[in-house]
């Protein structure tokens, strides 16, 4: 087993398998939740979507709404003005360009308003059980660089390094367990290196 595989196996032991952090009942609900989650906690998103999806949960419904009405439902979310516009435009695209169904391929997903490669990776994995890559959020970005898995400065390039370093069977796990580790141990400020069970593999800790 390689060093990188040992890292993932240890984190898998600590945090378990793949559990989605966002609550959803359809690919569209996940698409909206992923948009809202940018620079916002998953707990906050889940609280907002729990109420919002009881009022509307289809692209047809959101496409007909005024942006101002969507803003009212997500006003406690960071950057809610721009996210409301993205939800409406994304909904319109899904209805008019994809027959009311969230596309199940990366090429079309990244065409949707508010959906970049990171979000598309999450949707492909969680909604369609088709892992196409590794979603690189702030936790994954930070820990990948600390461990020495990548020295790149752009999330897309960090993802490409991770895809090369881990066998495909680990791809669905990497995002989830690095996020869990980032929240509990390898925090942005004051990482708990003394209690980190993978510190022996960490480039930054051992430098």
Domains and CATH numbers, the chain: 3-18+134-201 (1.10.1670.10), 27-126 (1.10.340.30)
pLDDT of residue 147: 97
Query: ∠ CA 94-95-98 to the nearest 5 degrees?
Result: 55
Stated pTM of the model: 0.89
* Contact of 10 with 197, CB cutoff 8 Å: yes
- Cα distance between residue 8 and residue 118, in whole Å: 20
pLDDT of residue 1: 87
User: Residues with Cβ < 8 Å from 60, sequence gap 6 or more?
Assistant: 91, 95, 100
Of the candidates 178, 180, 176, the residue with the CA atom closest to the CA atom of residue 19? 176
Using CA of residue 15, residue 114, residue 138, residue 44, what is the dihedral sign?
A: negative
pLDDT of residue 33: 98
Low-confidence ranges of the chain (pLDDT < 50): none
pLDDT of residue 16: 82
pLDDT of residue 117: 94
pLDDT of residue 19: 67
Catalytic residue positions, numbered: 118, 137
Q: Which two tokens stand for residue 180?
A: 């869990």
């Amino acid at each position: 087993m390689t060093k990188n595989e040992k890292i993932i196996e240890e984190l898998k032991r600590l945090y378990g398998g793949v559990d989605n952090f966002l609550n959803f009942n359809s690919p569209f609900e996940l698409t909206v939740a992923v948009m809202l989650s940018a620079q916002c906690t998953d707990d906050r998103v889940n609280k907002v979507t729990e109420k919002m999806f009881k009022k509307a949960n289809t692209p047809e419904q959101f496409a007909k709404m005024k942006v101002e009405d969507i803003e009212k439902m997500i006003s406690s979310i960071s950057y809610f003005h721009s996210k409301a516009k993205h939800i409406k435009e994304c909904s319109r695209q899904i209805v008019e360009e994809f027959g009311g169904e969230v596309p199940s391929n990366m090429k079309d997903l990244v065409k949707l308003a508010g959906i970049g490669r990171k979000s598309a990776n999450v949707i492909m994995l969680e909604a369609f059980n088709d892992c196409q890559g590794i979603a690189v959020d702030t936790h994954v970005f930070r820990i990948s660089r600390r461990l020495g898995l990548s020295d790149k400065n752009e999330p897309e390039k960090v993802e490409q390094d991770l895809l090369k370093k881990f066998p495909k069977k680990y791809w669905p796990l990497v995002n989830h367990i690095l996020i869990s580790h980032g929240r509990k141990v390898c925090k942005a400020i004051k990482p708990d290196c003394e209690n980190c069970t993978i510190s022996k593999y960490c480039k930054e800790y051992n430098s």
